[in-house]
Amino acid sequence: MKTAVIPQIRVEPELRADLDSVLLPGETLTEFVEASVRRAVEFRRVQTDFAARCEASLAAYERTGISVPSDLVLSKLEAKVAARVKQLRK
């Protein structure tokens, strides 16, 4: 597979200095930029999926008038958090 190039961008010297100061030992600017772009793309995908689920949920509520009570949603979320904390403490 042929690779593509991300366009160069001009930044202020202060930003470039800040960037250089946070590079890990042996890490290149190219590696940092690629990792940052990958994370940004994944974040946007998650945001888009979340918005789609929200819109579908709202449409279902408007169509049926049935919703899940907030206390039930919060208790399920709290249970998930508690389970994850327990898992991480092992």
pLDDT in tens, the chain (90 residues): 899 999 999 999 999 999 999 999 999 999 999 999 999 999 999 999 999 999 999 999 999 999 999 999 999 999 999 999 999 998
At residue 89, the pLDDT reads 96
Closest by CA position to 40, among listed 8, 6, 11: 6
At residue 1, the pLDDT reads 82
At residue 68, the pLDDT reads 93
What is the rounded distance in angstroms from the CA atom of residue 29 to the CA atom of residue 88?
33
Handedness of CA 24, 26, 30, 31 (dihedral sign): negative
